[in-house]
Amino acid sequence: MKRNNKDVESAHRKLTRRAILLGGLQLAFAGGLAMRMRYLQVDQADQFRLLAEENRINIRLIPPARGQIYDRNGMVLAQNAQSYRITIVPEDAGDVDEVIDSLSQLMPLDPEDIERAKAEMRRSPPFLPITLADQISWDDISKVAVNAPALPGITPEVGLTRVYPQLEDFAHVVGYVGPVSDYDLSKLTDPEPVLRIPRFQIGKVGFEAKVESGLRGKAGAKRVEVNATGRVMRELDRREGEAGADMQLTVDAELQSYTQARMGSESASTVVMDCETGDIHAITSSPSFDPNLFVRGISVADYRMLTDDKYRPLANKSVQGTYPPGSTFKMITALAALEEGLVGPEETVWCPGHMEVSGRRFHCWKRAGHGHVDLNTSLKSSCDVYYYDLAIKVGMDKISAMAQRFGLGVRHDLPMSAVARGLAPNRAWKSETYGQDWLVGDTVNASIGQGYMLASPLQLAVMTARLASGRALEPRLLKSIDGIEQPSTGGAEIDVSAANLNTIRKGMFSVSNERRGTGYGSRIIADGMRMAGKSGTSQVRNITAAERAAGVIRNEDLPWERRDHALFVAYAPYDNPKYAVSVVVEHGGGGSKAAAPIARDVLLQALYGGTPPLDAYPTKDRDRIKTQQERLEQERLKRKRPNDSSQA
Amino acid sequence: MSYLANNAQSVPTGFRKILYLNWPLTLLLISVACVGFLMLYSVAGGSFSPWAELQMERFVLGLVVMLVVAMTPIWFWRNVSALAYLGAFALLIGVEFFGEENMGAQRWIDLGFMRLQPSELMKITMVMLLAAFYDWLPPEKTSRPQWVIFPVVLILLPTFLVLQQPDLGTSILLMAAGGAVMFLAGVHWGYFAAVIGSVVGLIFSVFQSRGTDWQLLKDYQFRRIDTFLDPSQDPLGAGYHITQSKIALGSGGWSGRGFMQGTQSQLNFLPEKHTDFIFTTLAEEFGFIGGFTLLFIYMLIIIFCVVSALATKDRFSSLVTLGIAITFFLFFAVNMSMVMGLAPVVGVPLPMVSYGGSVMLVLMGAFGLVQSANIHRPR
């Protein structure tokens, strides 16, 4: 084909033009790309750099070490111990089922745990460790460690968990911790992020729960670099958290342990308070339980055993339980009357064994009556009629006011769970609560600590300490935080006449040290250690006329839950009060029989700072006391043993 | 053939041809390939395997292919262009039946020693055939409707097949490259104006129809378009790739985070980091300076091609050289627009840098044609 030269020339010129045009467009587009690159990489570089950092950097919380709890002498009550768990990384394990199989031949595995772990594996990326078994023994951990080459992907790991080396002795005081529950979170409006760490423990009950914020500490954080799938590549830096504060209680672990053992299998409570500072040296509730069970997660069977027990081991009777104080209240009634100047200590009342008040007959515990009774005798023999007479003269409002000045019906602010307020009733209270007028019969009942009167063992100890010292002592449980001594509150002189107070104290001395005193059987004979006390027996039932006609049934013949509560309050030494003690034995029968010996033994233990010499006891009791001391020592040793091995 | 016979006498022969190779172009291609090796080494976490090593082998093979093609006279390639087109077309049909699935698309034919992407071969053979067609067609007939329809069919047939695979990126490249060759050959402005006008009109009416009774796309299709226009709407889904890609680019800053120090690529936040998104790694680790340098080298290659095309009077040589330059330009322009968030993610690799044998070999063969046109230019 022959082509026209002119056509070829013009076609070539056209191509050149268009090639240059297209080339220009390409250059312009490339220029646009360069501009865009500049915009992203120079103008917006900072913003994108930030986004890249956000991508790659994750913040991980480091749980803080919980503060430890000590007794007044530095003995450990709650500490953090290493706990062992076994984790599996599915990616490294290869055949997960096979590895779990061979692991279960080495150590027992809970099928429920395995199911849960497998469900977790399906949800999370294969490189994340998943817990197979928690809280395992050292033996099992060592077995797994030795066989590690045969168990790919299995790692024994160490964490921290709470341990209570004193076992039952402090369950009600210190309480226990447990993993954060959904319920715990729902109670907080803005929960700290640390609470969302799996298996993080917080205080659930008792001191642990009450001072949670102080014990918890501040979480640390580490910054880690992660890749797109979330795998941690390396740690960039870390900011250590702040460990929780170490707390020291005023409680003396030795005394606490002795007291707990001394109460034995009774459903009882004992509180020992310092008459100078208000420090609580022992505060026990029996029976108790091992708080470590709750840390691990208590089994249903164990829990049911605790809740079904009619002695209610989970209840903290020392602050939570309130009882009619019975005759231990008589000091308050007497003091109210003395302060009003309505009676003198020498004035006597005739006790025929009962008293008629507005058509109703109120009995004295001694049916035959006490005859002529003055104040000292009324305390010593615990004559009821004397107080009926006194109370009618003084009136309830005066008695109630006096009770409150001595710490009854007033809530004492202790860092423990469910501290009860008790009740010191007056006229206004009854009309507010029941819409009824206060009756003289109510006054008569209240005068001997029955009726509406309610007090906790703690309140009775406070009352006794205030009577002994004449000062408005407040109980103190928290001694120091991180070594910084916490102030005692209260302690101002109570505005009552010293002479009247001495009259009451003398009466209490007579109770414990004079023949025919209700506490005479449980006296201290060591010089300078003598105690002053008061027994109480509070009814939990009404004695019907028919019963009375048939002769009052003895406590021993009644079913346990209908027997009287036994109470005893005391302080010692009489001339220089050091400790006040209150003992309540639920349905224990008579105060002088069931409660007074415990009060005496505990006081002696406190006064001597250990096992007291036998010559502090009345001669005829010494053999029995010696046997008892040996038995208690053995029991306490037996209880200590499992705890020692767990610490090793 | 007297026209060719006359000119053949002034063309270098034998080993003297080596001296007439376009050496600057060759060096530019080698440097681009080296950038590729460097980045493939980096995204493998500082390792020649699995990508950099293989890519080097293929580049050496590509150099050989380029030299062989370059030494062969350009008129031979013009004469076999129809055959080459038919061969590539046959392979493209073959891929429909024997192709291997990869990422949901049928693109490969396994040749034993390598896996071939016929669609890549198609881009070059189509440009060759179009150039040969316009070399044969007398210039005055170029804009006549019956002579316009034929090249349009040549373009649309393979485009349709590639779209079936489905490979949207390659079909766009085929259409754009084919259209560019037709434009260069001198087809009347009006045709292009009409096509561009109707495409713009269609897009406009699609958007106008949204929310009306005569809506032209389904709602989910509109949502995809929204995600493309504003990826931040769906940062963990469809927008994830483009968002991460922009973060990588942007965080590179002026001078980059340093070789192998790019957190986005080294920690796998980037998708397809050894293939389509390799530019983001370069931009992250070497910053604006690195990215701009690569763009600059690319544009130099285009400029050398255009200069070489305009220097020859041979119409086939000019058209094939310019067509290859346009194809090459479209590769990197679409890829870069994509990773910078200017175009949808359609799956176009960064030429000579992204990991991939077919594109590398086909492009080296194409640059062989450019070299051949240069060597066998009548002087």
Q: What is the pTM of this model?
A: 0.70
Q: What would the pLDDT profile of A488-518 be if each residue is shown by its tens digit?
A: 877 899 999 999 999 999 999 999 999 999 9
Does an H or E element contain B94, and which?
Answer: helix B74-98
Peptide bond into A191 cis (omega under 30): no
R_g (Cα) of chain A, nearest Å:
37
Residues of B in contact with A45 (CB under 8 A): 250-254
pLDDT at A473: 94
Beta bridge mates, A471: A493
**Identity of the residue in B185, B267, B303 whose CB atom sits nearest the CB atom of A233:** B267
Average pLDDT of chain A to the nearest whole number: 89
Domain A51-75+166-247 bears CATH identifier 3.90.1310.10:
yes
Q: What would the pLDDT profile of B290-333 be if each residue is shown by its tens digit?
A: 999 999 999 999 999 999 999 998 999 999 999 999 999 999 99
- Cα A568 to Cα A531: distance, rounded to the nearest angstrom: 12
Residues B7-23 have a mean pLDDT of 76
pLDDT confidence bin for B112, thresholds 50/70/90: low
Peptide bond into A475 cis (omega under 30): no
**Tokens describing residue B185:** 């050959």
Residues of B in contact with A55 (CB under 8 A): 244, 247, 263-264, 267, 269
Give the number of other Cβ atoms within 10 Å of residue A267's Cβ.
Answer: 24
Beta bridge mates, B110: B115
Contact of A345 with A376, CB cutoff 8 Å: yes
Mutate to test the interface with A, among B263, B265, B296 (most CBs of A within 10 A): B263
Q: How is chain A split into domains, by residue range? A: 51-75+166-247, 82-161, 253-290+313-644
**Tokens describing residue A427:** 């006229």
DSSP string, B256-284: -S-TT--HHHHTT-STTTTTTTHHHHHHH
pLDDT confidence bin for B2, thresholds 50/70/90: very low
Least confident of A100-104, A157-161, A463-467, B251-255: A157-161
- Which residues are CB-neighbours of A327 under 8 A, at least 6 positions away? A382, A384, A448, A449, A534, A535, A536, A537, A567, A591
R_g (Cα) of chain B, nearest Å:
22
The DSSP call for residue A454 is B
Size of interface A-B (CB pairs under 8 A): 137
Beta bridge mates, A371: A351
pLDDT confidence bin for A648, thresholds 50/70/90: very low
Mutate to test the interface with B, among A8, A33, A47 (most CBs of B within 10 A): A33
Residue A546 has pLDDT above 70, yes or no: no
Fold of the domain spanning A253-290+313-644: Beta-lactamase (3.40.710)
pLDDT confidence bin for B106, thresholds 50/70/90: low
**Identity of the residue in B247, B295, B340 whose CB atom sits nearest the CB atom of A52:** B247
Q: Highest mean pLDDT: which of A105-114, A134-143, A169-178, B264-273?
A: A169-178
In Å, what is the CA distance from B92 to each residue of A359, A401, B86? Answer: 119, 105, 10
In Å, what is the CA distance from B96 to each residue of A308, A431, B87, B101, B118? Answer: 77, 97, 15, 10, 11
Give the number of other Cβ atoms within 10 Å of residue A368's Cβ.
Answer: 9
Secondary structure, 3-state, A498-566? HHHHHHHHHHHHHHHHCCCCCCHHHCCCCCCCCCEEEEEEECCCCCCHHHHHCCCCCHHHCCHHHCCEE
Is A327 in the active site? Answer: yes
Contact of A76 with A70, CB cutoff 8 Å: yes
Residues of A in contact with B309 (CB under 8 A): 19
The residue from A327, A469, A522, A582 that is catalytic is: A327
- A 500-559 near B (Cβ less than 8 A): none
Mutate to test the interface with A, among B140, B267, B284 (most CBs of A within 10 A): B267
Fold of the domain spanning A82-161: Ribosomal Protein L30; Chain: A, (3.30.1390)
Residue A264 has φ and ψ, to the nearest 5°, of 60, -135
Bigger pLDDT: A378 or B115?
Answer: A378
pLDDT at A646: 40
Chain-centroid distance, C-alpha A179: 17
Residues of A in contact with B140 (CB under 8 A): 7
Residues of A in contact with B253 (CB under 8 A): 41-42, 45, 49
Q: How is chain B split into domains, by residue range? A: 2-188+233-375
- Cα A600 to Cα A275: distance, rounded to the nearest angstrom: 16
Distance from the Cα of B116 to chain A's closest Cα (Å) equals: 29
Q: B131: helix, coil or strand?
A: helix
Average pLDDT of chain B to the nearest whole number: 87
- Cα A515 to Cα A511: distance, rounded to the nearest angstrom: 8
Residue B209 has pLDDT above 90, yes or no: no
Q: Highest mean pLDDT: which of A115-129, A604-618, B93-107?
A: A604-618
